[in-house]
A and B are shown apart, each in its own frame.
Chain A
Amino acid sequence: MSTTAPAGTAAPPQQPPSTTPAAPRRRRSLTRGGGLFVLPFLVLFALFLVWPVVQGLWMSLTDASLSLRDTEFVGFANYTEAFGDPDVWSSLGNTVFFTVISCVPLVLVALAMALLVHSGLAGQWVWRLAYFAPYLLPVTVVTLIWTWLYQPDIGLGNQLLTSLGMEPVGWLSDESVAMWSVAALTVWWTVGFNFLLYLAALQSLPVTYDEAAALDGAGAWRRLWSVTLPQLRHTTVLVAMLQVLASLKVFDQIYILTKGGPNGSTRPILEYVYDVGFTGYRLGYASAVSYIFFAIVIVVSVMQLRLFRQEG
């Protein structure tokens, strides 16, 4: 998802003037030739996305489980149970908390990195590679690396702290620290992608504005605040939206790193769904919880869209 979005925004927004008269012909060709090309995707989309979504909705109204007994329709009982389930709320809270503490640095750090690289440092490719390389690593590799860094006894993190005369930290075992550790890992791992988006945007900015401002005597900070950043607004909107959605669906790194511990302090809602559905076999209930989360994601997305539109 995240890879297709930038391509869409990079396309020039202006329509060629010939669109209006050519419209009927284009539509016809789409239904004949284009439709065939889209068909395989549509079939797969319907089969593996639309149908499961519909079936999941139905399942959330039943007591479906992984056993041989008959499934019964239970109406909204699963939803009622979910709203009263403290684990749903705590894991939802964890997801939101993670989203907040990861999205802010993921946008700001990416911007800072892109500005630094764009400022014309020598050896550009080294910086680009260094910033983007972690993004290429698979999640298992990233978490394995960081598990050792966070190792309480022999990990680099605590070695550094103790060598500076500070107390070691329970990176993954202290309830108040663990989620921050997960966020730090996530920023290190994924910030490269946002960095790349920002860098691409910076490189496509017309230099004339900047030059004009410089001629008018604007300093570097002034030009950054008043010329560069306003022009990056669309990229920031895009990055922020993608990031919020990506952070809301956090699961894999946490599952490998902490399994939701200590004391459920890093368990995101999706892990709770996984626990209930796959290790707990309660498919109906798990579906209900995921539908509640689905609704929340939609609400957040719509709100975000509205917010950015108003500003624009």
Chain B
Amino acid sequence: MNSAPPARGLPGAWDPDRPPGIGRRGLLRYGTASAAALLAAGPLTGCASPARAGEASALKVWDLFQGGDGMLMDEMIAAVSRGAEGFDVDRTILDWGPSYYTKLAMSAAGGRASDVAVLHLSRLAGYAPGGLLDPLDLDLLAEFGVGEKDFAPAVWKRAQHRDTVYAIPLDVHPFIVFYDKDAADEAGLLDPSGHLAPMGSPEAFLDAGKKLAEVTGKSGVLFGHVTDTAQSWRQFAALYAQTGASFTLPDGGPPKIDIDAAVKVVTFMKQLFDGRTNPNNLDYNGAMAAFMDGRGGMIMAGEWELPTFRKSGIEHLGAAPFPQVFERPAVYADSHSFVLPHQDHPDLARRREAHRYIAEIVKQSLTWASAGHIPAYLPVQAGPEYAKLDPQSSYAAAGEIAVLDPPNWFAGAGGNFQNRMCQPLQSALLGNTSAEKAVRQMVREADTLLRRPNPVA
């Protein structure tokens, strides 16, 4: 079909009544035929090309890293792709957020997922129990030089479901504080080595906010939470964990939460962000802009904002783990980790490659650390090169006291739970409701989610 028409010599020659040249019908006919020929030829030449053949065996990787993180991931992939043993990686970057997790679940449910994918450890409980992830082979990983000993116990524990390992963490990304070293110095908040001195008590933190506000002439501590679906929860979770109380979400409910501790935390948050020394009504971008403008001495934010603050030209930027104000140290965190999304018919050789890839890429996490993330792979974290990174190394300890979302299918990054917890907390911070009422609503919301049938069990 694709060869006949063009071979016939002059179009229109076989119809003596027609004027020479291509008529409307002729154009349509030949046009269609040539288009068909092109279409038919496409895949054939494709098959013959070596590039195409290579792509078929390329390791398919899904992740959610865009912007600066995305470029660093590119760098790391380039590093592991060099040499004879290098990988051939087919990387797909998807938009981070709830939609990423929907797509990941759908691809795994379809049984034809990518070879490797990135998952927040806090989401593991929504994926591993439902069979959406395949377990990792620890022997294989050990062969490539990665094992349990290379990760902090708190993080390693969360990478498991029923004592089976489903994820290898790449980083720990805690919720921390950034501060302007000059302002903090003037406010007398630095220790002799020039780092933020420990707070130790709620009163000390309140006092620090006042002092910072005096120095900046505007605000002390900044925190953007209005209309945000995670920020208030991150702050609450950090402070709540510091009280030593636990928050668990057993299937079927009710949630186990220490009401008194929770009320104590929310009361403190309300005091801290009273709207005078520390504004209580900022949204995420507003708080970021205010800090970069020098209208506040400290900001509570994720460490992933480090590149943004760097670019803004803050001269002496400091960073520290989330200050301890209650009984024990704790920071809220999550962890980007590598998982094997479920495949119905995994190819053993590819699976082996996937394990090798994960092992090789976590060893590259010094590059990853330049964006602010704490490498989960301890040999890199303990190395001299990482110690040189400032201010990253000043909050590396956060990885050991990391507290993640309570595990349940709906909790974790980009999930409904965080959003639902943020709503009452926002009301409390804005002064629209009391700490007691906010906590009661949080319990109610958690209970509602727990009572729903678990769709992934």
Contacts and interface: CB of A to CB of B under 8 A. Distances in A.
B428 to A, nearest CB: 11
B455 A262 contact: no
Given A151-B283, A152-B283, A282 B227 contact: no
Contacts of B279: 153
B455 A282 contact: yes
Interface string B397-428: 00000000000011000111001001110110
Interface residues of A, number: 34
B453 A262 contact: no
Nearest to A148: B285
A251 to B, nearest CB: 14
Interface string B59-103: 000000000000000000000000000000000000000110110
Interface string B323-342: 00000000000000000001
Interface string A61-74: 00101111100000
B453 A63 contact: yes
Nearest to B344: A68
B306 interface: no
B12 interface: no
A152 B281 CA distance: 6
A70 B105 CA distance: 15
B426 to A, nearest CB: 6
Contacts of B423: 261-264
A175 B448 CA distance: 21
Contact of B455 (A66, A152, A172): A66
A66 to B, nearest CB: 4
B430 interface: yes
Interface string A254-269: 0001111111100000
Contact of A279 (B106, B414, B422, B430): B414
Contacts of A170: 226, 281, 430
Contact of B229 (A67, A87, A259, A278): A259
A259 B227 contact: yes
Contacts of B215: none
A168 B281 CA distance: 11
Given A151-B286, A258-B227, A66 B106 contact: yes
B132 interface: yes
A281 B126 CA distance: 10
A154 interface: yes
B430 A67 contact: no
A228 interface: no
Contacts of A252: none
Nearest to A87: B448
A261 B426 contact: yes
Given A147-B285, A259-B227, A263-B427, A67 B101 contact: no
Contacts of B415: 279
Contacts of B57: none
A153 B99 contact: no
Interface string B421-457: 0111011001010000000000000001000110111
Contacts of A67: 105, 109, 130-132, 455-457
Nearest to A283: B455
Residue from A63, A153, A172, A260 having most chain B Cβ neighbours under 10 A: A153
A69 B432 contact: no
B140 interface: no
Given A67-B456, A280-B410, A262 B426 contact: yes
B136 interface: no
A28 to B, nearest CB: 24
Interface in B239-293: 279, 281-283, 285-286, 289-290
Contact of A152 (B99, B102, B282, B410): B282
A174 interface: yes
Contacts of B422: 261
Contact of B432 (A87, A172, A174, A258): A174
B212 to A, nearest CB: 17
B456 A153 contact: no
Contacts of B132: 66-68
A275 B455 CA distance: 13
A173 interface: yes
A185 to B, nearest CB: 13
Contacts of B98: 278-279
Nearest to A265: B423
B59 to A, nearest CB: 23
Which of A152, A154, A174, A260 is most buried by chain B, counting CB atoms within 10 A of its CB?
A152
B453 A173 contact: no
Contacts of A68: 108-109, 130-132, 342
Contacts of A168: 281
Interface in A265-311: 275, 278-283
B432 A175 contact: yes
Interface string A202-238: 0000000000000000000000000000000000000
A260 B229 CA distance: 10
Interface in A163-195: 168, 170, 172-175
A69 B285 CA distance: 41
A261 B427 CA distance: 10
A76 to B, nearest CB: 15
A137 to B, nearest CB: 19
The 6 closest A-B CB pairs, nearest first, are A65-B455, A67-B130, A279-B98, A152-B281, A68-B131, A67-B456
Interface of B: 98-99, 101-102, 105-106, 108-109, 126, 130-132, 226-227, 229, 279, 281-283, 285-286, 289-290, 342, 409-410, 414-416, 419, 422-424, 426-427, 430, 432, 448, 452-453, 455-457
Given A172-B226, A264-B423, A278-B102, 10 more contacts: A63-B455, A66-B132, A67-B457, A68-B132, A151-B283, A151-B286, A153-B282, A173-B226, A260-B419, A280-B416
5 contacts: A67-B131, A153-B290, A173-B281, A279-B414, A283-B455
